[in-house]
Amino acid sequence: MSLINIVNNSEDHLQLGIYTTRPTENVEQSAWITQSLNSHTSASFSARQKFTVHANYGNKLAPDGGQKTNSMQFLEGAAKFQVVNAGAEGEQNTKLKIEQLFEDLVPNKVSLHNMSNQGIWAHIERAEGGSFAPVMMSPGAVLIEDVSAMPFYLAIIKHLVTSSDEPIGELIHLPATAITSGQTATITGSNWRGYTIALSE
C-alpha cells in the first residue's frame, strides 16, 4: 500500500495538515487530511490516489477548448489508455474516445497513446485535487507520466478556522513540504525555536 509516514520528534503536540495543492500562508484552506500528533509519536496515511484521464480536441490553442472525450478513472499503480476515432472503420468521423488497455503495463506509470487522426490535449487529473499539466499530442504520440511522483504537501497548522464551532479550514506555518507516497517526514524543533521537516525514503 502507498503510505505517507510522519514522525513527530519535536517538543510539541502538533496539528498537521496534508494538502493536495501547495497551501498559502494566511489564506484559509482545507486540508485533505488533518491529524493531531503528540511529541515523539508517529502516524501513517494511505496515499493511494484515484485519477481520471480525458482528452480535448478540435482547438489547438486552448487545452480545455473544443470537444471532450469520455473520461476514464484508474487507481494509482499502472494504467494504459489510447485515444481512437469513435466512428466505424471507413467512416469519415471526427469524434474521438478513450479506451483502456491491459497489456504491457509499467508499474506506477500511466500511458496515453494517441491513435486517432487528430491532435489532442491530454489531461490526467487526481481526484483528490491537483493535476498534471495538459500536454498537446500529435497523432501517433505517446504520453507517459509517473503517477507515484505527484506530491502532497505537509504543513504544520497554526490554528483551525471555525464557524459556529465547526472547523472550516486552517492557517498554516510555512513553508509546506512536498511529500510523495513511500516517503517519511520527520519533524523536529519547537514552536519557540521553529520547526524543521526532513524527508527520507
pLDDT, tens digit (0-9, with 9 covering 90-100), for 148-177: 777 888 988 876 555 455 544 556 666 788
pLDDT in the model for residue 68: 93
Angle at 24 between CA 171 and CA 52, to 5 degrees: 110
pLDDT at 40 over 50: yes
Cα 4 to the chain's mean position, in Å?
A: 14
pLDDT in the model for residue 26: 67
Kindly give, in sequence order, each residue whose CB lies less than 8 Å from that of residue 164, ignoring residues fewer than 6 positions away.
Answer: none
The overall average pLDDT reported for the chain is: 84
pLDDT band, residue 53 (cuts 50/70/90): very high
How many separate helices (H) and strands (E) can be counted in the chain?
A: 0, 18
Q: Rounded mean pLDDT of 19-32?
A: 76
pLDDT in the model for residue 141: 96
